[in-house]
Amino acid sequence: LEEVEKFRLCSYTEKSQRYITLEGSFILPEELKKTKLEKTFIKTINIQNKAYFYFFEKLKKYLLDKFKNPKDKKSLTLLEGLAKEDARYITSLATSSQVGLTSNARNLELMLRRFASNSLIEIQKLQELIYKEIKDIAPSIIRYHKANNYDKNTYNDLKELTNEILKNKLEKKIIASQDIELIDYPKDLDKLVAASLIHTSSNLPFKECKKIVERLKEKELEEIFKRSFKYMQFYDPVLREFEYAYFIFNIVLSASCFAQLKRHRMTTITCQDYDLDLGYTIPPSIKEIGEEKKFKEIIDITNNTYSLIRKENQKVANYILTNAHRKRILLGVNARELYHISRLREDTHAQWDIRNLTNKMTSKLKEIMPLTFKLVCGKDKYNEVYNSFFRE
């Protein structure tokens, strides 16, 4: 699913984990069929799935007790969904999923070419199935759908070169010391956004707008932002000028958290492979019900199976990893998109993992751009934050 949803200009409708009932459905990679590792793979999947049902029942009981056994159907469905959501951290990335895809011909052609160039047989077969469905509809438009050397070899060549460089230049292996790090952003970002707003509202060159902003007093600068926010409701995007403020984050996150972050496609995301050295994310609720030890035992079994498969094929080994396993990504995002992410993901109804990540990002940015991010918050807090700012 991660490969399918890499294409930013397509639209995806993915069934939420809160509403999927796990029934043992998983993908057995073709690369493992009729090999000595097939039984080990299936055995590990079965252990993970059995643990899912065990955690789910305990979490459901815990949540029902915690919220005093509500009787209405809406609350019961919500609590059951939350139990499923946290229990699924122990299920594998091989678990079957459902997604609806909407794409124009240009993006579909790119997708087909990338899929054909992918080393995983599952992805290659998906390319064949999609192409079979559309080849007679737009044969003159979708022309470059076959594998090519650029998509097949470029990242492999870069990896070989990088390994050579690291062999000579890296003294010791470095493990991330923090889950999220703001690594790059322009200076004086509040002034950059303010100058952009003046530029749109005048006939001056941008260079002159910047000079004017440099001469403004603090209250005058704040007034520009107040005017830009004055009529904004929680469902409104901030003005487009906020896109000129751009940031790059280095993030270590779980597969479950990444599954939600990648849905925000007006960003730039590049990923490393999943890495056992980065550890795994245990849902707080698992700790609260006293099942941290059992969770870790399943992870240990998974890691052993992963290591066995990885010796044969690193890409295929990822199938057995769980939603709790982590990888490192680079996220490039502008202030406007971060407002949108925050509205959804810092809301009290958002899933806890992505909510925590988003809160860490916005907390860092409020420190360096207090005016630009004055109203950044979950939609449930918007009226409170808005009123507080306009009372100042």
Q: Catalytic: 263?
A: no
Task: Give SS3 for 54.
Answer: helix
CA distances from 62 to 55, 56, 146 (A): 10, 10, 52
Identity at 48, one-letter amino acid code? Q
CA atoms within 13 A on the CB side of 150: 6
Q: Give the separation between CA 338 and CA 374, rounded to whole angstroms.
A: 12
Q: Which candidate in 113, 114, 328, 345 is catalytic?
A: 345
Identity at 76, one-letter amino acid code? L
Cα 334 to the center of its chain, rounded Å: 16
Q: Give the separation between CA 280 and CA 274, rounded to whole angstroms.
A: 10
Cα 112 to the center of its chain, rounded Å: 23
What are the helix (H) ranges across 170-266?
Answer: 189-200, 206-214, 218-229, 255-261
User: What strand order describes the sheet that includes 246-254?
Assistant: 180-184, 246-254, 326-334, 268-274
Residue numbers annotated as active site:
345
